[in-house]
């Protein structure tokens, strides 16, 4: 889409950016707002800390599984119908969570939450690429990420404040209200960015063919793995927040801001810098530098936890890692979408699927194993950063003969 100028166009652009960021915020609000309630939910359901981790992992698993379908459906039906249907079902699932009488029932509704939430968050990434290309798309993706970055900082703090007003179901009622508000804003303001003539046939064979085309592309696989592991260096701290803050640092339900405030500050600054550098620095070089910065930050974090595993040092390293990751993340997301101009929804789906499958493993299986101490947690973050950097360097090497590793 070509650029437009003038005050009205700028206002419309800012409003669309805010709505896209709000759609992206659904994930962090759904995951992080509940963290402060884990202790009270565990008491009500007579569930252990490890069992409560499944409240996060089951959401991520169902999100990942259904993410395969949301993007391809938006390639055939249009972006808005898929997003609005998903939002409606998400609100109903969230109300079910609030009314759950037991942990198994809660987990069932969390699974439904995850299955529906991706319709908004995944498809919104394709909308960005529908609207703009090149540096403009990079800047918009960075702006969305910068606003989105506020959510993980606000969410656990908001969850703690809501617990001061009522029992844990109040958190889910608040999230349901957020879902309703975003659905209304999407229906009224957000344009349909995929015209009928550009849509794929609504046939199972066509949907599967699009997914297979994306999945078989070697460059896409390398970019998806690089993104997944580099982001995991930061995300392991997010999913481990309940154990890290309560068990390792001895803090309470109102203290999650101690981790999330610096973590999200790093994300916001990194996304801001990424947007500022759009069109000024070659995108491949920008990712090179961001990945190197992530490795340095992970090494610093591990060194601090080996020497002074206390506050404030325990949150400094994760903040630096988040800063570096946020510089690279918008570029890598757009690079995967640009590989498939006629299957952007499918590309967005599979990119999210790869990341979420691993994030679900982080939440449900890996996090309980690596949170025995702050040092082990920092070591796991470093390993993820190294693996992600390895996949990026492999991609750079293999693509150097064919052309740029990332589209400008």
Contact (CB, 8 A) for 17 and 142: no
Tokens 């499944």 correspond to what residue?
54
Which is more confidently placed, 180 or 240? 180
Q: How high is the pLDDT of residue 3?
A: 43
Burial of 254 (0-12, 13-18, 19+ CB in 10 A): middle
Q: How high is the pLDDT of residue 408?
A: 42
Q: How high is the pLDDT of residue 260?
A: 82
Cα–Cα distance measured from residue 239 to residue 362, given in angstroms and rounded to the nearest whole number: 7
Does a structural domain hold residue 61?
Answer: yes
Task: Name the pLDDT band for 13 (thresholds 50, 70, 90).
Answer: low
Task: Name the pLDDT band for 212 (thresholds 50, 70, 90).
Answer: confident
Cα–Cα distance measured from residue 110 to residue 401, given in angstroms and rounded to the nearest whole number: 46
Tokens for 300, please give them.
């610093």
Q: How high is the pLDDT of residue 24?
A: 81
Q: Please report which residue ranges of 166-312 form alpha helices under DSSP H.
A: 169-189, 204-215, 218-239, 241-242, 257-277, 283-307
Which is more confidently placed, 208 or 397? 397
Q: What is the pTM of this model?
A: 0.72
Instruction: Kindly write down the DSSP assignment for every residue of 270-339, as one continuous string.
Output: HHHHHHHHTTTS-HHHHHHHHHHHHHHHHHHHHHHHHH--STTHHHHHHHHHHHHHHHHHHHHHHHHHHT
Cα–Cα distance measured from residue 87 to residue 93, given in angstroms and rounded to the nearest whole number: 10
Does a structural domain hold residue 2?
Answer: no
Q: Which of 83-87, 153-157, 312-316, 384-388 has the lowest mean pLDDT?
A: 153-157
Query: Which CATH number fits the domain that encloses residue 228?
Result: 1.20.1250.20
Tokens for 398, please give them.
């293999």
Cα–Cα distance measured from residue 45 to residue 35, given in angstroms and rounded to the nearest whole number: 15
Average pLDDT over residues 249-271: 84
Give me the number of domains the chain comprises. Answer: 1
Output phi, psi for 126, to 5 deg.
Answer: -65, -35
Tokens for 205, please give them.
């064979």
Does a structural domain hold residue 295?
Answer: yes
Q: How many Å separate Cα 42 from the centre of its chain?
A: 26
Cα–Cα distance measured from residue 225 to residue 228, given in angstroms and rounded to the nearest whole number: 5
Q: Which of 228, 223, 218 is nearest to 384 (CA)?
A: 228
Cα–Cα distance measured from residue 352 to residue 272, given in angstroms and rounded to the nearest whole number: 22
Domain containing 119: what range? 12-399
Cα–Cα distance measured from residue 63 to residue 86, given in angstroms and rounded to the nearest whole number: 12
Cα–Cα distance measured from residue 389 to residue 377, given in angstroms and rounded to the nearest whole number: 19
Q: What is the pLDDT of residues 118-147, one digit of tens each?
A: 888 778 777 877 777 778 878 877 877 777
Does a structural domain hold residue 407?
Answer: no
Q: How high is the pLDDT of residue 387?
A: 96
Distances from the Cα of 345 to the Cαs of 28, 70, 73, 240, 348, in angstroms?
21, 7, 8, 30, 5
Q: How high is the pLDDT of residue 363?
A: 73
Does a structural domain hold residue 404?
Answer: no
Cα–Cα distance measured from residue 107 to residue 403, given in angstroms and rounded to the nearest whole number: 47
Does a structural domain hold residue 6?
Answer: no
Does a structural domain hold residue 7?
Answer: no
Does a structural domain hold residue 3?
Answer: no
Contact (CB, 8 A) for 391 and 222: yes
Q: What is the pLDDT of residues 307-362, one digit of tens each?
A: 998 889 999 999 999 999 999 988 888 888 888 877 777 787 778 777 777 877 88
Q: Rg of the chain over CA atoms, in angstroms?
A: 20
Q: How high is the pLDDT of residue 398?
A: 85
């Amino acid at each position: 889409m070509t650029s437009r100028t003038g005050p009205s166009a700028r206002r419309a652009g800012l409003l669309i950016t805010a709505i896209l960021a709000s759609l992206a915020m659904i994930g962090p609000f759904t995951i992080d707002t509940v963290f402060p309630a884990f202790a009270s939910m565990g008491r009500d359901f007579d569930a252990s800390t490890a069992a409560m981790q499944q409240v996060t992992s089951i959401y991520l698993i169902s999100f990942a599984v259904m993410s395969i379908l949301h993007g391809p459906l938006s390639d055939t039906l249009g972006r808005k119908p898929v997003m609005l249907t998903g939002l409606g079902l998400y609100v109903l699932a969230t109300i079910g969570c609030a009314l759950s009488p037991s942990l198994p029932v809660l987990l069932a509704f969390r699974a439904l939450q995850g299955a529906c939430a991706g319709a908004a968050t995944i498809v919104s990434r394709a909308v960005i690429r529908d609207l703009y290309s090149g540096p403009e798309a990079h800047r918009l993706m960075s702006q969305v990420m910068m606003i989105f970055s506020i959510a993980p900082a606000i969410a656990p703090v908001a969850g703690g404040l809501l617990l001061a007003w009522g029992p844990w179901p109040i958190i889910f009622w608040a999230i349901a209200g957020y879902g309703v508000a975003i659905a209304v804003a999407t229906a009224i303001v957000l344009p349909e960015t995929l015209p009928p003539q550009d849509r794929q046939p609504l046939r199972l064979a066509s949907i599967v063919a699009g997914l297979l085309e994306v999945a078989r592309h070697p460059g896409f696989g390398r970019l998806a793995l690089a993104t997944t592991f580099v982001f995991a260096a930061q995300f392991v701290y997010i999913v481990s927040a309940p154990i890290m803050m309560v068990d390792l640092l001895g803090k309470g339900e109102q203290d999650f801001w101690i981790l999330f405030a610096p973590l999200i500050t790093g994300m916001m600054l990194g996304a801001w810098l990424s947007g500022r550098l759009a069109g000024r620095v070659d995108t491949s070089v920008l990712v090179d530098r961001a990945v190197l910065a992530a490795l340095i930050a992970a090494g610093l974090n591990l060194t601090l936890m080996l020497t002074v595993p206390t506050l404030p040092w325990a949150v400094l390293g994760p903040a630096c890692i988040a800063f570096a990751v946020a510089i690279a993340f918008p570029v890598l997301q757009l690079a995967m979408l640009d590989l498939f101009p006629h299957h952007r929804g499918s590309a967005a789906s599979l990119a999210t699927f790869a990341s979420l499958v691993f994030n679900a493993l982080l939440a449900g299986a890996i996090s309980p194993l690596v949170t025995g101490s702050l040092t082990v947690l920092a070591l796991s973050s470093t390993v993820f950063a190294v693996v992600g950097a390895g996949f990026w360097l492999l991609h750079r090497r293999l693509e150097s003969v064919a052309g740029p590793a990332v589209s400008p």
